[in-house]
Chain A
Amino acid sequence: MTVNRRDFIKIASTSAVTAAALSSGLTRGDVDYPAGLTWDKAPCRFCGTGCSVLVGVKNNDIIAVTGDPDSPVNEGLLCCKGYRLNKIHSASDRLKKPLIRVSPKSVTKDAEFREASWDETLDLIASKMQETLADIGPTGIAYYGSGQNTIWEGYASSKLFRAGLRSNNVECSARHCMASAVAGFMTTFGMDEPMGCYDDFEHADAFVLWGSNMAEMHPRLWARIVRRKLSAPTTQIINLSTIHNLSGEMADKEIIFSPQSDLAIANGIAKLLIDNGKIDNSFINDHVAFKAGKTNIGYGLEDNFSFQEAATAATLNDLIAHVASYTPEYVEQISGVSPADLNALADIYGDPNIKVMSLWTMGVNQHTRGTWMNNLIYNLHLLTGKISTPGNSPYSLTGQPSACGTARETGTFSHRLPADMVVANAEHRAIAEGIWNVPAGTIPAQPGYHTIEMLRALDRGDIKVLWNNTANLFHDSPNLNRYREGAKQDGAFIIVSEVYPNRCTEVADVILPSAMWVEKEGAFGNAERRTHFWKKMIDAPGESKSDLWQMVEIAKRMGVGALFDYDATAYPIPNGQKMSDASLAAGCYLEKALFEEYRLFGNGKGHDLAPFDVYHQTRGLRWPVVNGVETRWRYNEDYDPYVAAGEGINFYGNEANGGKAVIWLRGYEQPPEMPDANYPLWLCTGRVLEHWHSGTMTRRVESLHKAYPHATAALHPTDANNLGLVHGDYIRLSSRRGSVELYVDIDGRVTPQEGMVFVPWFDEDVMINQVTLDAYCPISKQNDFKKCAVKLEKLS
């Protein structure tokens, strides 16, 4: 028999076990799938959107993937990367055995490694860690993960390092993705992550993109905005950007502004809202407090830079005085945005009949005033009361598939613990020590090194052992010429868990071959607080092992294996399920045990998660999940069980100040480096639709590689003309820190503003991070990859 689309959806929805073996073929929509595939669901492992994928498996290989029709996120569709998820695991240079470096550290070209057993490799790692603990102490070892770790991997890494090794050096590449978003949420709302959800896309009347090229970076969410636009033609899309891009092609208005001037634009809109009488005084009285913070806060360019915010209470009148100088004329002077365009923005935010979604990602977050920019966008929604109701939604998007679920929620930042708790707080440490069953005082009060300071500590020799896992630290980091040298020092011991050779394995001392995606059981949390799970579907090749297995094995060798001992009678291995190596080694359902323990941190505190088994039966649930029901709009009585009847809106993350969100007085300050006579152009870096981050996976897929093979330098035609450059010229692009060589692209899909060059960072042959500047937001410690000064020279 042939199963039609309806049947397929029904089969795929069958809750207890989603897998369905179809021996006689499958038709979905227009496609006939080969017979004999077993289908199961998994979240996509690329961006923060969190699309659900149906994975068709046969003979321990992924034969086909398709969008999951039961997912409310992506409604059965994927993007060009998602449709190649079946191609990313099987390229011929997949790492399959543990490797130990043979050639000297200084050699990266054709570096030699020898194959080794897991025992030898893990013993070597443990001996290096013990040596460093004796020489330097717990601050000398570090873990660097990402929002691509599963929830239990993130949780286990934090537990291993903080409770086991007494080190807060648990850090992640999500620092460079959305630390400013976290700091923005914590300072404004006292609680992390968006109050709204993706349902806002079908309710909003206007979408304002603040430096977010969603058309390439969040394609399936962008498709929902496009659907809204086409089905309700009065819908407005405003693309605020420093670059003309694909999102601008669908926009009603594209407003190009000078780098860093978003700070002035947001204050200018706030001033117009106040001047035009468009603020919601009743909402402000009931739900808003005002604060001012420090100014001239620096850029973190120096080693051991430190910053401590000092907030003072303020009033609406203080805000009025603060924004007074941000007249349309002054804003135009800084930003290049016309008073007419600024007024158009203010009209959208100020019209009570227009429901507004503000959307942002790296333009706002990778910013030396990233926390301020997050605060300033919230200010617009708080001044107008356009928040926490369907369609009124300041929306911070995330880059990685579990930036929220893993990095933010389990707390794999050097200063955080699960459920928004922090290591600097004694009560929080005590809660964690209680749940982890370790003696009081185990977790250090001092936060570990944040990403840039971790790289500097490695370079200084203050860190000797660094474990890079699900990240590509020595490709992704700014000012790489300094930090790669740090990694190549003889004293530095770099552990890299990877699936393919890349710029990070080049500087490794040991390489651990990892299991990826559906080769293990996993869980991610997407950008709408949706926690979603998948089961193991195929075995990892060769001797590859899951990152969770690696963590437990290192814990055992460091004498803290008891942290991962769980009761096999409480967490039995279920019959007939393909289990991860970690569970099989533990003799219990380790992922379930870890998740059930992790839930204790957030339940009853606004971070409630459902029991483990529930997630395998759903397409995910948005926390807080209370009495089995997910929450779509937080802080709103109509949707959020944490808001009592009669309260209407309650920003309960700020319980200490009466449940009020904070409007911060933040102004414009210059970036640390601006174009000058010697380096006359801005450099902005970013991503492209076809590639995931540093390209380790997507560049190994033929169609994706051929669609976008190389990073090029996109220039405005006027600049090219002034510099005597034409499309296809070969150039050297240099900053004060380094240079790369690449081709000029004037016909590409993006056109930067005049005075700017744009280079994507996916290409390991164009290591643009040799050029970028290691300047960060002093509050969030997130680096600014969008602004530094460069020059171009034509090469023959």
Chain B
Amino acid sequence: MSRLPTISTSLLLAMIVLASACTPPGPGSGGVPSKPYFHDSLETGHPGMNVYSAPAPGQSTVLPREYPGAPPLVPHDISGLDITKDANACLGCHSDGISFGEGHVATKIPPSHYTNQSTGAETTELQGLRYNCNICHIQQSEEQSLWCFDCHN
């Protein structure tokens, strides 16, 4: 068995391939579609690095929600902001929605997060089911390579 070639071409090439993949296959009617059906392959792929270079907390701007009810995205650097059994670093700013001036305001944790999920009772404690913010609220990297989400409905 021969080995598959290893991944080696440049990031630029990979981005071109990725970009072209975002064009939907031609409509065709039994003929050969005008575009390849594959955005990539083992031969051309070049992975990237995950670069999280968002502004420090207090310096970022709120990102738009993806749809009504979508959990807000994290627009700022989270390195060193740990959630452990003893402390949740997110709460320092987001409990009260601290304002940092110049339009930078930490999104205040809404009442739903203090409401007991099973009884509906409102409390003063962040509910345990919501304690690990990172389960729902995800940070965004600087990634520029696009798959096909640019053409979403």
Q: Measuring CB to CB, which residues of chain A are less than 8 angstroms from any residue of chain B?
A: 5-6, 28-34, 61, 63-66, 69, 75-80, 83-84, 86-87, 90-93, 95, 97, 99, 102, 108-117, 215, 219-220, 222-224, 226-231, 237, 246, 249-252, 459, 480-482, 484-486, 500-501, 503, 505-506, 511, 689-690, 699-712, 728, 732, 738-743, 745, 747-748, 763-767, 770
Contact = CB atoms under 8 A, between A and B. Distances in A.
B140 A84 contact: no
A766 B151 contact: no
A352 B32 CA distance: 70
Contact of A30 (B28, B85, B111, B118): B111
B147 A699 contact: yes
B8 interface: yes
B93 interface: no
A29 B109 CA distance: 12
B37 interface: yes
A63 B72 CA distance: 17
Contact of B49 (A33, A252, A728, A738): A728
A102 B41 CA distance: 17
B121 interface: no
B108 to A, nearest CB: 10
Given A500-B148, A765-B45, 20 more contacts: A64-B69, A79-B135, A80-B135, A83-B69, A84-B66, A91-B152, A108-B38, A115-B30, A115-B33, A219-B132, A223-B131, A228-B128, A249-B82, A480-B4, A703-B73, A705-B147, A707-B141, A709-B141, A709-B143, A740-B6
Q: Is the interface of B mostly helix, strand, loop or mixed?
A: loop
A93 B22 contact: yes
Nearest to A479: B1
Contacts of B134: 246, 689
A712 B30 contact: no
B42 A108 contact: yes
B48 A91 contact: no
Contacts of B45: 764-766
Across the A-B interface, the 4 shortest Cβ-Cβ residue pairs: A227-B128, A92-B151, A29-B112, A765-B45
B24 interface: yes
Contacts of B132: 215, 219, 222-223, 226, 250
Contact of A34 (B2, B6, B68): B68
B49 A90 contact: no
A770 B7 CA distance: 11
Interface string B21-47: 111110011111100111111111111
A227 B138 contact: no
A93 B149 CA distance: 9
Select the residue from B47, B48, B110, B136 with max chain A CB neighbours within 10 A. Answer: B47
Contacts of A484: 4
A108 B43 contact: yes
Q: Is the interface of A mostly helix, strand, loop or mixed?
A: mixed
B71 interface: yes
Contact of B152 (A87, A250, A252): A87
Nearest to A741: B7
B21 to A, nearest CB: 7
Interface of B: 1-4, 6-8, 14, 21-25, 28-33, 36-50, 66-71, 73, 79, 82-85, 110-112, 115, 117-118, 120, 127-132, 134-141, 143, 145-153
B36 to A, nearest CB: 4
B54 to A, nearest CB: 11
Contacts of B22: 92-93
Nearest to B2: A485
A30 B70 CA distance: 11
A707 B50 CA distance: 9
B136 A485 contact: no
Contacts of A690: 138
Contact of B112 (A30, A87, A505): A30
B47 A227 contact: no
11 contacts: A92-B23, A99-B37, A223-B131, A226-B128, A237-B85, A702-B66, A705-B147, A712-B49, A738-B4, A743-B48, A763-B47
B38 to A, nearest CB: 5
A250 B85 CA distance: 5
Contacts of B147: 91, 699-700, 705
B117 A30 contact: no
A113 B138 CA distance: 37
Given A108-B41, A765-B46, A113 B33 contact: yes
Nearest to A249: B84
A748 B50 CA distance: 9
Contacts of B47: 710-712, 741-743, 763, 765-766
A55 B95 CA distance: 30
B6 to A, nearest CB: 5
Given A250-B85, A700-B147, A745-B50, A732 B6 contact: yes
A230 B128 contact: yes
A230 B131 contact: yes
Nearest to A500: B148
Contacts of A64: 67-70
A194 B6 CA distance: 43
Given A75-B118, A703-B140, A481 B41 contact: no
Given A699-B147, A740-B7, A765-B47, A102 B32 contact: yes
